[in-house]
């Protein structure tokens, strides 16, 4: 990889992350190689070329898989708490390099510097979680129906875990998978987004430093780079029992079909069309904070971004006016400047989708109460900066049913009781994150009940955006059904085995069957 001089102190950050010394974009650890075409990484912040990474060829991929499968034989036999110690050291390295990595995330992806630091903190948090988990990979003991027998179940690592991540969280989502997979005894092959490849290089360097210091084999952490064709190498590979894919629903359906065709396992975290329900008993100030951050954070490019605000007619105008007033205070610009709230979209293709969405909502009969538009002039030279927009719309509009990965918020009005609002919320194809703003206990419990939100995440009096490491993260319907991070999400990275031990001198058969010889 070739690094190019940049502003904003990026030269120092790149050097600290070891990027200037890297020549290619494929890695089995500290060994770098590659024979494919160049991927150019341009920053959406200022349009400057940050660096180039070589794509992974089929020959390169075979070298990666050879290293990974070999490393698995050693890594799986190490006691889980010892694997946890390695993950702990990785978390410590992340603490040391948090500022540099956070700055790279901000500059390459375009999110605010504080969000970049927050993403690295998520990596640190999942390492802490995984360290504790390494001593809690519990199975169960069951009573056998046969005398003198003991039954129990245990979990074993799967092998090579393939990870395909998206540009919007270029490092955190990888770590959610990797930290858990590592303590479970798996090795990982990661294909980061081709829109943020340098973040992957940086993380691989940090991980390789830890594994090398502990005299562990190459291949426990591997990196491949490229577009969907490189991803297909993993999805078609029977040596990869689990593929964890984060991205669009369209991509997820392709991955699911390919992996299912070889009876592999998938962990899918796909699109979201997230809503906040605002009832007459809502705290308006809290509602505005949650809705605005949810809609404009990461420039609307989170899978949990707030897309729809479903407001009761009795408070509709009050909420609308408060949110519109809040938008007037937003500062849009260089995300490395901590005075700004909103940075750029990832690229000009994203800008086109944003513009198309605004055109479509008007064509369908919607009303823009906060106009959008692409910003130009000094500070906006990349062409990726847009104004967060708000549109009054109807729930059935096609564009409202669609996930637009941009800062476009739709205001929807409901009447009657909270059941009507829940029906509107659930009547989309996606099922990731949801929230209700209310001080009414009955409304809150109704929202969380079996007949309430159909999403994987349902919040009361907080927004849709953001999640804690301790809980499982993911959603239903076209969101894919996968779960990452906390709770018992670790089980997807392992295979379950039931064991029966006979400690007698007889061989009784189950269900009392007689088979005497």
Residues identified as active-site: 269, 303
Q: What is the DSSP letter of 315?
A: T
Angstrom distance (rounded) from CA 461 to CA 174: 29
Radius of gyration of the chain (CA): 24
What's the gap between Cα 426 and its chain centre? 22
> Helix, strand, or coil here: 317?
helix
C-alpha distances (whole Å) from 255 to each of 195, 242, 245, 268, 330 are 19, 11, 8, 9, 38
DSSP string, 256-317: HHHHHHTT-EEEEE----EEEEE-TT--HHHHHHHHHHHHHGGGG-STT-EEEEEEETTTHH
Q: What is the DSSP letter of 383?
A: S
- Reference 267, options 129, 158, 406, 374; nearest CA is 158
Residue matched to tokens 């490491």: 469
- Reference 493, options 80, 157, 269; nearest CA is 157
Sort strands 306-312 and 242-246 into parallel, antiparallel or unpaired. unpaired
For residues 53 and 198, the answer to whether their CB atoms sit within 8 Å is: yes
Q: What is the DSSP letter of 501?
A: E
Sort strands 476-477 and 430-431 into parallel, antiparallel or unpaired. antiparallel
- Reference 476, options 455, 504, 453; nearest CA is 455
Other CB atoms within a 10 A radius of the CB of residue 148 amount to 12
- Reference 186, options 72, 265, 268, 82; nearest CA is 72
Q: What is the DSSP letter of 374?
A: B
Which tokens go with 367? Answer: 């009303």
Sort strands 149-157 and 494-502 into parallel, antiparallel or unpaired. antiparallel
Q: What is the DSSP letter of 424?
A: H
Angstrom distance (rounded) from CA 179 to CA 380: 37
Q: Measured over all CA atoms, what is the biggest interatomic distance in the chain, rounded to whole angstroms?
A: 91
Which tokens go with 136? Answer: 């809690």
Angstrom distance (rounded) from CA 452 to CA 315: 22
- Reference 327, options 345, 306, 341; nearest CA is 341
Residue matched to tokens 């070589």: 54
Residue matched to tokens 């000009």: 348
User: 220-242 burial by CB neighbour count: b if 16+ within 10 A, else e?
Assistant: bbbbbbbeeebbebbbebeebbb
For residues 68 and 3, the answer to whether their CB atoms sit within 8 Å is: no
């Amino acid at each position: 990889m070739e690094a190019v001089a940049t502003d904003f102190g990026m030269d120092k950050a790149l050097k600290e992350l070891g990027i200037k010394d890297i020549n290619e974009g494929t890695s089995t650890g500290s060994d770098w190689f590659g024979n494919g075409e160049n991927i150019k990484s341009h920053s959406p912040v200022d349009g400057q070329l940050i660096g180039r990474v070589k794509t992974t060829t089929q020959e390169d991929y075979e070298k990666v898989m050879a290293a990974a499968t070999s490393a698995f034989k050693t890594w799986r036999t190490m006691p889980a708490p010892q694997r946890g110690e390695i993950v702990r050291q990785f978390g410590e390295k992340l603490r040391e390099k948090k500022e540099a990595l956070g700055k790279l995330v901000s500059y390459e992806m375009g999110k605010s510097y504080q969000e970049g630091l927050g993403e690295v903190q998520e990596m640190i948090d999942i390492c802490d979680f995984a360290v504790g988990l390494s001593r809690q990979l519990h199975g169960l003991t069951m009573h056998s129906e046969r005398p003198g027998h003991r039954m129990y179940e245990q979990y074993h690592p799967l092998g090579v875990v393939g990870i395909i991540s998206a540009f919007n969280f270029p490092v955190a989502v990888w770590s959610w998978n990797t930290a858990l997979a590592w303590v479970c005894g798996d090795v990982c092959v990661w294909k980061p987004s081709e829109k943020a490849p340098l973040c992957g290089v940086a993380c691989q360097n940090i991980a390789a430093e830890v594994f090398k210091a502990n005299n562990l084999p190459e291949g426990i952490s591997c990196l491949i780079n490229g577009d969907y064709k490189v991803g297909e190498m993993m999805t078609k590979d029977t040596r990869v029992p689990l593929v964890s894919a984060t991205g669009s629903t369209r991509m997820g359906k392709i991955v699911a079909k390919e992996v299912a065709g070889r009876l592999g396992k998938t962990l899918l975290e796909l699109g979201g069309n997230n809503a906040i329900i605002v009832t007459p008993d809502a705290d308006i100030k809290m509602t505005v904070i949650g809705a605005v951050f949810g809609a404009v954070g990461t420039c609307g490019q989170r899978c949990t971004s707030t897309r729809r605000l479903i407001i009761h007619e009795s408070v509709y105008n009050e909420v609308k006016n408060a949110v519109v007033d809040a938008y007037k205070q937003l500062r849009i610009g260089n995300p490395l400047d901590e005075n700004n709230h909103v940075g750029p979209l990832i690229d000009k293709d994203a800008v086109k989708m944003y513009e198309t969405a605004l055109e479509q909502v008007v064509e369908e009969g919607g009303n823009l109460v906060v106009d959008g538009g692409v910003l130009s002039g000094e500070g906006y030279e990349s062409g990726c900066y847009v104004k967060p927009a708000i549109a009054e719309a109807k729930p059935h509009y096609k564009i409202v049913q669609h996930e637009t990965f941009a800062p476009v918020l739709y205001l929807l009005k409901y009447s009657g009781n909270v059941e009507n609002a829940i029906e509107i919320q659930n009547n989309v194809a996606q099922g990731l994150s949801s929230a209700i703003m209310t001080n009414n206990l009955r409304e809150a419990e109704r929202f969380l009940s079996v007949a309430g939100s159909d999403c994987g995440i349902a919040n009361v009096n907080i927004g849709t955006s953001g999640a804690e490491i301790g809980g499982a993260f993911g959603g239903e319907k076209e969101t894919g059904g996968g779960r990452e991070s906390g709770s018992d999400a670790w089980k997807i990275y392992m295979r379950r085995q039931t064991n029966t031990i006979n400690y007698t001198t007889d061989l009784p058969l189950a269900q009392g069957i007689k088979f005497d010889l």
